[in-house]
Structure 1
Amino acid sequence: MLRLSVRDEEFLMIGDDVKIVFLGSSGGQTRIMIDAPKDVNIVRSKAIEKRIQDPELLATIPKYYKNLEGTAKKKKSNVVIVQNK
């Protein structure tokens, strides 16, 4: 999986014909624009979750969450390791 930080108006190319443009964010939501051929199926995760009635099948859908460990600032350690030669 690739994780990126992007600025407004930056875009990603997937293959030669799918372009994802990041339009900006506000209030915890990010706006994107997807430019892809009509034969490329694009579905939001919420739509998939609403359609699936079987709990076992629903449990197999990947879930992605923010990395909470990376958000906290880590303190520098004062420990120094000295190797005797």
Structure 2
Amino acid sequence: MSVNITLRYHENTLQLFYAAKNFQEGLTVTGYLIYSDLTKSDVQTFEELGDGIYSVFFPYTQKSNERIERYGLVVKENGATKLFEIVNLIT
């Protein structure tokens, strides 16, 4: 895989960290989540932290009573899809 993604849960917020291929800087990185009920979140713009690493916060609302929830994550660089990943969140 050419990119790395890290997820962190904190106070009803999911924070995602994304490292672009070759740690490329100056990209416009956007993304959205696909929930287990197949609805999509609003598109969010990632903030560049430096050195080709980007971060974004998504509001989090638990959609099921399961301890593990799965989400689809779509990340785009300059409008082109670069990543689709299934993300597991254990609450």
TM-score normalised by length of structure 2:
0.26
More helix by share: 1
Q: Normalization by structure 1: what TM-score?
A: 0.27
Structure with the bigger RCO (C-alpha within 8 Å, sep 6+) is 2
Task: Tell me which protein shows more strand as a share of its residues.
Answer: 2
Structure number with bigger Rg: 1
